[in-house]
Amino acid sequence: MKGKFRPLAAGAAVAVAVAGFGVLAGGGAAFASGGGGPTPPWESSVSPAPNGFIAFYNAEGQQVTGGSITANGFGAYAVASTAAPAGYTKATLLIKTPVNGENPALWSGEQVSSSTNFPNTSGPGQVGTTTNPVETNPGTDTPISQYITSFPNTDTSTDGYAGLYDVRLIVSGAGLPTLSTYWDTVISVNTTAGTWSVDWQGGDYTQSTTVGLTATPPSPQTETGGAASPIALNATVTPAADATGTVTFWSNGVQVGTTQTVTGAGGNTASVTTTPPYTAPSTTTPYTAVFTPTIGSSDIGNVSSTLNYVVTAPLDVTQTSLACALCGGSAGPVTFTGTVTDQTNSGTVITAGTVSLYDNGSTTQFASGAVGAGGAFSIPYTYSSAGSHSVVATFTPANGATVAGSSSSPLAFSETSSACTTCNDVQTIEGTVPAGTISISTPYTPTNPLNLGTLALTPSGTYFTASASLDPNAGDVPTAGQYPDTTFDGITVVDTQSGNLPWSVSAAASNLSDGTGHANGVISGENVGLTGLTAVLVPGNAIVAGDVTLTNQAAPVPPVGPTDTGTSGLGGGIAHLIATDTLQPEGTVGINGTVTLNAPTSTEAGLFVGTITFTITG
């Protein structure tokens, strides 16, 4: 009978257990991650100390270390790690919810199983031979999810109690009081994933084993007489020092052979012999090996990766022929040809696969080709020099083919030197084209600024304005390749990039300031404009009329205030495109235009200074 237990008086013995268990997958055990956690902080304070720990097993007698919280119980069996005193014959599972600072004997919990008799000689493997207490789950043990609804662990701290539950096994006997001590194993529960796993199981529960599985002879096997030959399944448990227990072999949910005992270091291997099934033309059989530690061991069992063993029908014998057109003459183009046929089914041709050519015993192919209609192949090749050859054609079947590969007989011939009336002698020349550069310049500096003069009030009286040409002398022309240019006051662009690469010029004006720091002591860079743009060509230069596209950037009218956040004119903190070289010839070109500065009538009197940055990009 199952029942709920609230905190009892100190010294009373009540054990608790959680639900859900690792399940079988095709006959092999599915082990959840578990163990290896630090010793729970309360274990050392339990007095008297627990009798040992609990290990869980499935219906096949394989160790279970985790599973679903909605399954009934922890598996088919819960087995104590040590024997019970004489006279005790019934085992019961309980779960307790740990509470930091509270005596473990007073924790709330619930009985989650019926009381079942032990030993259970009908149990599988070690479960059926041990005299230790065994709780047998008839499939009605309480799911962990149901338990934690009534007794949740609400601890979210880092004190070592969060997410853990204490599973306990208690024993009783006819005419005897319930044993005051218990066996316990601590589990952790992940309610988001809906899983539980063993967190601590007493002792050194930190060593996880691995199981390797091989077959002798290895897969694949070719059947003879319509049936497969026997094979040996070989399992190796590592580390060897922790390989004490049993190994079982499984295929499609059925145990293969008998349970094998392993004894640890020097005895960590196990084998069984079986004959794989075979149905023409090919059969694949999955095998796994499962290691279960000896009852009382705190090691973790494991299951091997699946070994898929393949038995196939014998491959048809093939024959590859080889001939060559123009082989044995002057070095030059030749064509290797041949046919691949199925000799087992006489007259059948092969229409899929590859033929590779090898010369003079080399293992490196020098040419290859596909097998096509009628089993034929044709592979062109060119010999560049005289020499003796012994060529073999080797056929490789396509993936999944039921025929074997084959090689032709050697084809021997000699190539002679090519005859020519005009022989070519190929020479190599080289030269380097420089990457080149692009540059932009103006003659204006802090000591030689472009002075727009005194701004004049417009006739309407709405704002101040002034303008000046970059180069007021219309006859000035840039000097090709000269920097700085002393004959032209506009913008000079020099392009020596190889490859006829494009370029573009942009301009950005800063705010102008009189240095006072007053609110009206600033003129926004948006009020700077550049218009009337023209390309000034250098006579005889590669850049001619029409190569450069110009874009005027006018200042706004009326002008904007000093705190405006727009991007008019040349201001706003962005680069404004003014020229693009679309046809991309190398050379030198000048750009002239008129700079205009507008200012609101609220601007205070004084000398205002700012900059225009011209940028060229390629």
CA distance 167 to 50: 12
pLDDT tens-place string over residues 559-587: 999 999 999 999 999 999 999 987 767 88
* Residue 20: closest CA among 83, 72, 96, 92: 72
Give CA angle at 252 (247, 256), nearest 5°: 40
CA distance 539 to 545: 11
Which CATH class for the 438-617 domain? Answer: mainly beta
pLDDT at 615 over 60: yes
pLDDT at 319 over 70: yes
| pLDDT value of residue 520 | 92
The pLDDT of 331-345, averaged and rounded, is: 93
DSSP 128-182: HH--S-EEE--S-SPPHHHHHHHS-----SSSS-TTEEEEEEEEEBTTBPPPS--
| pLDDT value of residue 5 | 31
Q: Do domains 318-415 and 438-617 have the same CATH topology?
A: yes
Contact of 34 with 65, CB cutoff 8 Å: yes
pLDDT tens-place string over residues 404-440: 999 999 999 999 987 665 556 667 788 777 878 888 8
The pLDDT of 341-358, averaged and rounded, is: 89
97: three-class secondary structure by DSSP: coil
pLDDT at 92 over 60: yes
pLDDT at 324 over 90: yes
| pLDDT value of residue 15 | 27
pLDDT at 20 over 50: no
Architecture of the domain made up of 210-312: Sandwich (2.60)
pLDDT tens-place string over residues 371-405: 999 899 999 999 999 999 999 999 999 987 888 99
pLDDT at 363 over 70: yes
| Cα within 13 Å of Cα(545), Cβ side | 1
pLDDT tens-place string over residues 123-135: 999 999 999 999 9
pLDDT tens-place string over residues 209-262: 999 999 999 999 999 888 999 999 999 999 998 899 999 999 999 999 999 999
Strand extents, DSSP E, 366-405: 367-370, 376-382, 387-397
| pLDDT value of residue 4 | 33
* % of the chain at pLDDT higher than 90: 70
* Residues whose CB is less than 8 angstroms from the CB of residue 252 and which lie 6 or more positions away in sequence, other chains included: 26, 27, 285, 286
Q: What is the mean pLDDT of the chain?
A: 88
pLDDT at 181 over 80: yes
Locate the domains of the chain by residue range: 4-200, 210-312, 318-415, 438-617
CA distance 247 to 249: 7
* Residues whose CB is less than 8 angstroms from the CB of residue 608 and which lie 6 or more positions away in sequence, other chains included: 512, 513, 514, 523, 599
The pLDDT of 39-61, averaged and rounded, is: 92
422: three-class secondary structure by DSSP: coil
* Residue 223: closest CA among 285, 276, 286, 287: 276
The pLDDT of 330-356, averaged and rounded, is: 91
pLDDT at 14 over 50: no
pLDDT tens-place string over residues 48-57: 999 999 999 9
Q: Return the CATH number of 318-415, one of 1.10.10.10, 1.10.230.10, 2.60.40.10, 3.40.640.10.
A: 2.60.40.10
| Cα within 13 Å of Cα(518), Cβ side | 10
pLDDT at 204 over 60: no
Q: Phi, psi at residue 248, to the nearest 5°?
A: -120, 150
Q: How far apart are the first and last CA of the chain?
A: 88
| pLDDT value of residue 211 | 97
Strand extents, DSSP E, 456-570: 456-457, 463-469, 491-495, 503-509, 512-513, 522-523, 528-537, 548-550
Quick check: pTM over 0.75? Answer: no
